[in-house]
Structure 1
Amino acid sequence: MLDAIVIGAGPGGLQTALTLGRSRRSVLLLDGGPGRNEPAHEVHNFLSREGTPPEDLRAIGLRELAAYPTVEVRPAEAVAAISQEGGYTVRLSDGTAESARRLVLATGVVDVLPDIEGLGPLWGRTAVHCPYCHGWEVRDRPFAVLAMRPQDAYFAAHLTRWSPDVVLCLNGKDELPDDQSALLASLNVRVRPEPIARLEGKGSELQRIAFASGPPLDRGALFLKPPTQQRSDLPRLLGCEILDDDSVRVDNFARTSIPGVYAVGDMARRPEIPIATPQVALAAAEGATAAVAIDTELVYGKLPWE
Structure 2
Amino acid sequence: MYDVIVVGGGPAGLNAALVSGRQRRRVLLVDGGEPRNAPASETHMFLTRDGTPPGELRRIGREQLRPYDVEVWETVVTGAVRAEPGFVLELAGGEEVRTRKLVLATGQRDVVDTVPGLSDLFGRGVYHCPFCHGWETRGMTLAVLGHEPAQVMQALYVADRFGEDVVVCTDGRPVPEQAAGPLEKAGIPVDERPVARLEGREGAVRVVLGDGGVLERQAVYHRAPTRQRSPLAERLGAELLPDGLVRVDEFQRTSVPGLFAAGDTARLAALPDALTFVVTGAADGARAAVWLDQELFREDAGLGG
Report the Cα offset of residue 176 of structure 1. 3.1
The DSSP-based 3-state class of the residue aligned with 1:151 is helix
The correspondence of residues 232-251 of structure 1 with structure 2, limited to 5 A, is 232-251=230-249
1:125-183 Cα deviation digits (max 9, x unpaired): 11010111111112111111112422333211000101111111111112332x52221
Displacement of 1:206 after TM fit?
3.6
Deviation of residue 53 (structure 1)? 1.1
Structure 1 spans left out of the alignment, 5+ residues: none
Determine the C-alpha separation between the residues in 1 that align with 2:238 and 2:291.
Answer: 18
Structure 1, residues 188-245: CA drift from partner, whole Å, max 9, x if none?
Answer: 211111111121314x444321212374221111111111111112112111112222
Q: After superposition, where does 1:134-213 map in structure 2 within 5 Å?
A: 134-160=133-159, 161-177=161-177, 179-202=178-201, 204-213=202-211
**2:4 & 2:280 partners in 1: Cα distance?**
21
| Larger deviation, residues 17-26 vs 212-221 | 212-221
One-letter amino acid of the counterpart of residue 14, structure 2:
L
Residue type of the alignment partner of 1:233: P
Partner residue in 2 for 1:271: 269
Report SS of the residue matched to 2:61: helix
After alignment, is 93-102 or 256-265 more displaced?
93-102
Q: Which residue of 2 aligns with 1:100?
A: 99
Corresponding position of 2:122? 123
Tell me the CA shift for residue 51 of structure 1.
1.2
Deviation at 1:114, TM superposition (A): 4.0
Aligned partner letter, 1:261: L
Aligned to 2:86: 87
For 1:2-13, list aligned pairs within 5 A: 2-13=2-13
Q: Quick check: 53-62 or 70-79, which moved more?
A: 70-79
SS of alignment partner, residue 64 of structure 2 = helix
Paired position in structure 2 for 1:64: 64
Partner of 2:43: 43
Partner AA of 2:275 in structure 1: T
Q: Distance in 2 between matches of 1:118 and 1:222?
A: 12
Unmatched tracts of structure 2, length 5 or more? none
In structure 2, what is the Cα distance between the partners aligned to 1:301 and 1:168?
55
SS state at 1:65 partner: coil
Cα distance in 1 for residues equivalent to 2:14 and 2:248: 19
Q: Contact 1:227 / 1:245 at 8 angstroms: preserved in 2?
A: no
What residue is the counterpart of 1:28 in the other structure? 28
Q: TM-score, normalised by structure 2?
A: 0.93
Taking structure 1 as the reference length, what is the TM-score of the superposition?
0.93
**Aligned Cα root-mean-square deviation (Å):** 1.8
Q: Percent identity?
A: 45
Per mean C-alpha deviation after superposition, the further-off stretch among 204-213 and 277-286 is 204-213
